[in-house]
Amino acid sequence: MEKYQVAPENTVVVGDNHTDIFFAANAGAKSIFCTYGFGKKADSVSTFDAGDFAGVIDILQKNF
């Protein structure tokens, strides 16, 4: 975000592990958890969840 001068509120982290979701939260960014990935959500709280890649695209198109 710093390198490209993008504000956290304009950043979305897409990941399949709780570490990705915790990273987004700590950075002040929104997140999309990919339930179809290998990782676990554990006790992290994502902004959105996607069941497949098309779901990620749909979330991005409708919300950003």
d(CA 56, CA 59): 5
How many Å is the Cα radius of gyration of the chain? 11
Determine the pLDDT at residue 13. Answer: 98
d(CA 32, CA 47): 6
Determine the pLDDT at residue 39. Answer: 95
Determine the pLDDT at residue 20. Answer: 98
pLDDT tens-digit series, residues 11-63: 999 999 999 999 999 999 999 999 999 999 999 999 999 999 999 999 999 99
